[in-house]
Structure 1
């Protein structure tokens, strides 16, 4: 490689000298007076230290040196990356002059003025000059046998180096795979190791698999980048190699210089992100202290601390993102803006109900209608609150059923909280209907007695009765009793109803609720415990005799005795 660099430097010395001479010539031209220019009748067109032809001109015309130097400069500029396969030199005839082109670029013009002191016609002179240019260009690609041997030698050395590099990479990775196999033994045995799902079934070692992937990538990149360099020693491939590396260099330079230009914006983004993270951390610490009672704010409830901290964190991160967005790479492009609008539209159209539940969850949080563990009734669902989230609330019913209710439904529904009474009792109540023939004082006494016999019903304050209505056939009596056991209300109602039945049956009073319609034959009552044998009808006595009920009643009385 060092030998190649030395040879390339030696090859560049003539070019540097030529450029220096040309530079010196361009500095000399302005020193020539107009009189001297008018006296000059010819000037050489030089390309790669070779004189191609002369520009001849008569006196008092355009200075010949300017024309010759202009043609030389264009030849040097246009043919810098000459490729014999793709590039061409040709002429194009007009009325009084002929143009010579290199591809689609004009090199020079041959006119009738150039025919002075020449025995050639206009077309012959133009072809002669064009042929001189083509011969000079052919020298760039037509190498001598010695030059071919040197370039082939460079190609061979490059190929040997590439093969040695590939063998070295393979050897190093084979050595690396030995310790990787030992490390692998306990790695894939972990149940939470998700990487084992991404390796082929025939591969038992993920580290070796990754190592082989890296090895293949390194060799592939080496071949992709180094192989064109090997062929750059041949004249017919120089242009293609330069074009290839140009294609590679363009995105690389775009990324590198884009990252360099992005560094100031990156610092700005980091400052905003770190500041936002710091503020969010402070908010979380404050909300945690409020929640456990270490820090107090007047008229600010403890259960507000966590949701308020989360809401403030979301707003801070959103505001930070708004500040960061203009500094993101490509944020000003139409594609980036189009994708942002598309994602925003999808979120807007697809999350209407979710956003409604989120807003309802925030409102419910600050309304504080219930807390975790409270016994509540939401619409027709009764149960204990076991979870509150930003989207839903979960309730466990007395039947051990977990019910999930969207917060939007809770916000528009009816909420009854049986637990949030701050030391006050809950009044359980039930209604029965009785006929107008019963004195209301007796009914009140029996209902209060049933309430006092019920477990978990408070004696103080005392139960009380409300006569709710005087209907067509009966009077509605409502029994009200106090209790502090909100989670045992179903059991309390069951006990009250059982006690009412027992006490009213013992008192010989039948409960007509809502109404009792029957064809009576004169019997006094329908209460089983109070129906005497002498009060039964003859038909009932015959039925009892046929069914053996009389004998059963006698046996029960003898057992009681």
Structure 2
């Protein structure tokens, strides 16, 4: 039953051991090659006289500790490993130290024929055999005598550290250290505030001058942020150093926390050491990734220079429009970056870990679920570029929406209507509908503006066509060549439908030209006393429904208003 008791120190050691196991597990188990090298090194230390490996257990050592202090070391035996032996001795020492009825002076050596024991009354503490003395090069009795002295000193110190008087003194030390820490923190905070103000006042003019000298390539705001970040980093480092000194001092005051104090520095440095070792192990992969990045950037620069030369017209390619240069560069850049990522991915540190793979799968699922419409619009945007459906400045009509193209992006296209309304149309909508481009042929062959009128059968068609041509000639902005032409579109029940077709070279003036053309048609037909019968006809009036010329400018209309309207452009 005595062997089943665990003191505070034993529990602390077990907790520390569990934390170490978890930490090693997180870092990753050693590879088979590492295990084989470790086994080879252990075998190399085994005595050559016994290849079975028994001597490896005999020469294995473990330290016997109490309150974090090493008392002595013991060696392992074939049936009794060193760790188990040291653990058992430590537990026995702690049991005696916790039992105040056992005097330190009661510890004695008991020399037997084949071993020497250390006992306190009838309670066994430790035992040494001849093999222990042979390994140390001294008789076992001398080895046991040294261990007895160490055990007595450790038990005395163990009990003294837990006495009320010493605990009270150490508590006062802890309070004093806390007060001193608060004072030092106050002073350090004031010092760094003064340093911040001093740097701001002394270096402001120099920073602004440096910004001017660098032609604003390096901005003063960025330099001030860097300076503030440096000061904050120094301040944080000072706080961490003070915190470490304080914790190390206070934890060393109490025997229960003394092992933690011994591990405190290791707790702080072990992650940094692991990170450093990880970086060192990853250096070949990092170097390969760096080479891939450098080569990729160089290739991208060459590609950009080449396509910019095409865009400027310095380099020309057969059947390749200049406006395709930059979109093609973006596609080529994306492909080059994707190829570089595929090549460099296996060499990225941690890319083979399960966590990295899980994050990659998660991002892939999110991207595939949320980017279907985005990808569709991107593909549609590039498809429209290479189809040359329209350009910026063209007047187009898409799904009964007409306007001028003011901006074309990969995702959407911006249109401005004649009402000065901006309409944003997704590219996927454009690619799935018919596009009417009024500007493509306007400057070369001309854009045909057409309108219809219905005239009664009693009016000669030759007269009607002549009047329509006259109206077209009076419309400023319509082309003389090609000449306007008239089509008789239908012979209705009560009227003949005539279609006037005239050319213009400016699609942006369509609305104003239609207005002027309709005005001139009305004027010409009124001048010649011909009644327009569309859109509906009910019967022949006594007099033709025309406006005499002397009534064209009834108040508030004036001839000046009509001439001004002829020059309007929406």
TM-score between the two structures when normalised by the length of structure 2? 0.63
Q: Once superposed, what is the RMSD of the aligned Cα atoms?
A: 5.0
Contact 1:47 1:136 in 2 (8 A): no
Q: Match for residue 454 of structure 1?
A: 475
Question: Which among 332, 348, 368 is matched to residue 328 of structure 1?
Answer: 348
Contact 1:177 1:211 in 2 (8 A): no
Q: Measured at CA, do residues 168 and 138 of structure 1 come closer, stay the same or move farther in structure 2, by a change above 3 Å?
A: farther
Shift of 1:78: 4.7
Query: Are 1:512 and 2:526 an aligned pair?
Result: no
Q: Match for residue 59 of structure 1?
A: none
Query: Are 1:140 and 2:160 an aligned pair?
Result: no
Q: Match for residue 275 of structure 2?
A: 255
Q: Match for residue 375 of structure 1?
A: 395
Which structure 1 segments of 5+ residues have no match?
A: 1-25, 32-45, 53-64, 91-113, 197-204, 532-561
Q: Match for residue 430 of structure 2?
A: 410
Question: Which among 520, 527, 544 is matched to residue 499 of structure 1?
Answer: 520
Shift of 1:499: 1.0
Contact 1:425 1:482 in 2 (8 A): yes
Question: Which among 505, 508, 518 is matched to residue 487 of structure 1?
Answer: 508
- The aligned runs of 1:307-456 (5 Å cut-off) are 307-421=327-441, 423-456=444-477
Q: Measured at CA, do residues 30 and 461 of structure 1 come closer, stay the same or move farther in structure 2, by a change above 3 Å?
A: closer
Q: Measured at CA, do residues 394 and 183 of structure 1 come closer, stay the same or move farther in structure 2, by a change above 3 Å?
A: farther
Contact 2:71 2:154 in 1 (8 A): no
Q: Match for residue 490 of structure 2?
A: 469
Q: Match for residue 225 of structure 1?
A: 244
Q: Match for residue 176 of structure 1?
A: 195
Q: Measured at CA, do residues 222 and 453 of structure 1 come closer, stay the same or move farther in structure 2, by a change above 3 Å?
A: same
SS in 1 for 2:379: helix
Distance 1:144 1:409 in 2: 83
Q: Match for residue 304 of structure 2?
A: 284
Contact 2:64 2:86 in 1 (8 A): no
Contact 1:375 1:383 in 2 (8 A): yes
Q: Match for residue 201 of structure 1?
A: none
Shift of 1:324: 2.6
Give the structure, 1 or 2, with the largest relative contact order (CA under 8 Å, sep 6 or more): 2
Distance 1:83 1:246 in 2: 25
Distance 1:516 1:28 in 2: 124
Distance 1:125 1:47 in 2: 21
Distance 2:437 2:532 in 1: 32
Which structure 2 segments of 5+ residues have no match?
A: 1-44, 51-62, 98-110, 128-143, 212-218, 551-570
Shift of 1:450: 1.1
SS in 2 for 1:382: strand
Larger CA Rg, structure 1 vs 2: 1
SS in 1 for 2:529: coil
User: Which region of structure 1 is more displaced relative to structure 2, 176-185 or 408-417?
Assistant: 176-185
Shift of 1:508: 1.2
Q: Measured at CA, do residues 428 and 30 of structure 1 come closer, stay the same or move farther in structure 2, by a change above 3 Å?
A: closer
- The aligned runs of 1:98-247 (5 Å cut-off) are 127-128=123-124, 130=126, 137-140=151-154, 142-143=156-157, 173=192, 176-183=195-202, 213-214=232-233, 216-230=235-249, 236=255, 238-247=258-267
Deviations 1:466-525 (A, max 9, x none): 1111222221111111222222121111111111111111111111112221485xx242
Shift of 1:290: 0.4
* Count of residues paired in the alignment: 432
Contact 2:76 2:82 in 1 (8 A): no
Shift of 1:194: 8.1
Contact 2:92 2:125 in 1 (8 A): no
Distance 1:50 1:380 in 2: 94
SS in 2 for 1:342: helix
Distance 1:180 1:257 in 2: 37
Contact 1:47 1:72 in 2 (8 A): no
SS in 2 for 1:142: helix
Contact 1:393 1:404 in 2 (8 A): yes
SS in 2 for 1:433: strand
Q: Measured at CA, do residues 166 and 375 of structure 1 come closer, stay the same or move farther in structure 2, by a change above 3 Å?
A: closer
Distance 1:247 1:500 in 2: 95
Deviations 1:203-234 (A, max 9, x none): xx989976774454223311343345446877
Contact 2:252 2:261 in 1 (8 A): no
Distance 2:495 2:242 in 1: 103
TM-score between the two structures when normalised by the length of structure 1? 0.64
Shift of 1:70: 8.3
SS in 2 for 1:413: coil
Question: Which among 317, 323, 333 is matched to residue 303 of structure 1?
Answer: 323
Shift of 1:373: 1.7
Contact 2:449 2:504 in 1 (8 A): yes
SS in 2 for 1:427: strand
Distance 2:486 2:47 in 1: 127
Shift of 1:288: 0.8
Distance 1:525 1:233 in 2: 118
